[in-house]
């Protein structure tokens, strides 16, 4: 399996490659998660292992990544929570949870993309 690692960076502040992409320091250690779709990455320079989802909205969610993206896309397009629930097949509470998580201050890049659907 060939994985494009160009969008990932080492999260270790004491690593010489901290937040630098395309340095060749990252490898895929394994793939894990309930849906076997999350990469565990390893920095060869400092030895740190980290989830590809670290510091992203996907990190604490059990919902598959593609469904979360679909929810965010629907909400971004102005669909409400109920409509998004119908479109994605996810429970209203799950959609609502993703929406509120996306609006939280933990992910400052996401809220500007969203129409207020609450
Ligand atoms: Zn590192």
- Whether pLDDT at 75 is above 90: no
* Predicted local distance difference test score (pLDDT) of residue 35: 78
Task: Clarify whether residues 4 and 47 are in a common domain.
Answer: yes
- Report the percent of the chain where pLDDT is more than 70: 87
Q: How far is the CA of 43 from the centre of ligand 1 (A)?
A: 5
C-alpha span between 10 and 80 (Å, rounded): 36
Mean pLDDT of 92-109: 83
Residue 16 in domain: yes
Q: Is 22 left (phi over 0), alpha (psi -120 to 50) or beta?
A: left
Mean pLDDT of the chain: 87
C-alpha span between 79 and 69 (Å, rounded): 14
Q: How far is the CA of 58 from the centre of ligand 1 (A)?
A: 22
- Whether pLDDT at 116 is above 60: no
Q: How far is the CA of 11 from the centre of ligand 1 (A)?
A: 7
C-alpha span between 84 and 66 (Å, rounded): 14
Q: How far is the CA of 92 from the centre of ligand 1 (A)?
A: 39
Model confidence at 103, pLDDT cuts 50, 70, 90, reads confident
* Predicted local distance difference test score (pLDDT) of residue 114: 55
Task: Clarify whether residues 33 and 77 are in a common domain.
Answer: no
Mean pLDDT of 40-47: 96
Task: Clarify whether residues 14 and 44 are in a common domain.
Answer: yes
Expressed as residue numbers, the domain containing 99 is 65-113
Question: Of 37, 55, 73, which closes a domain?
Answer: 55
Q: How far is the CA of 12 from the centre of ligand 1 (A)?
A: 5
Q: How far is the CA of 114 from the centre of ligand 1 (A)?
A: 33
C-alpha span between 98 and 84 (Å, rounded): 11
* Predicted local distance difference test score (pLDDT) of residue 117: 45
Based on DSSP, count helices (H) and strands (E) in the chain, helices before strands. Answer: 3, 3
Q: Mind listing the pLDDT tens digit for each residue in 12-37? A: 999 999 999 999 999 999 999 887 88
Whether 76 contacts 68, CB under 8 Å = no
- Whether pLDDT at 118 is above 50: no
Residue 118 in domain: no
Q: How far is the CA of 45 from the centre of ligand 1 (A)?
A: 5
* Predicted local distance difference test score (pLDDT) of residue 113: 53
């Amino acid at each position: 399996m060939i994985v494009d690692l160009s969008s990932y960076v080492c999260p270790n502040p004491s690593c010489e490659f901290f937040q630098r992409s395309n340095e060749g320091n990252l490898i895929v250690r394994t793939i894990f998660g309930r849906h076997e779709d999350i990469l565990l990455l390893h920095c060869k320079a400092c030895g740190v292992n980290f989830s590809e989802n670290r510091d992203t909205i996907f990190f604490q969610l059990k919902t598959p990544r593609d469904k979360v993206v679909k929810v965010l896309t629907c909400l971004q397009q102005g669909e409400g929570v109920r409509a998004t629930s119908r479109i994605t097949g996810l429970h209203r509470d799950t959609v609502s949870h993703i929406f509120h998580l996306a609006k939280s201050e933990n992910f400052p890049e996401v809220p500007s993309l969203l129409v207020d659907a609450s």
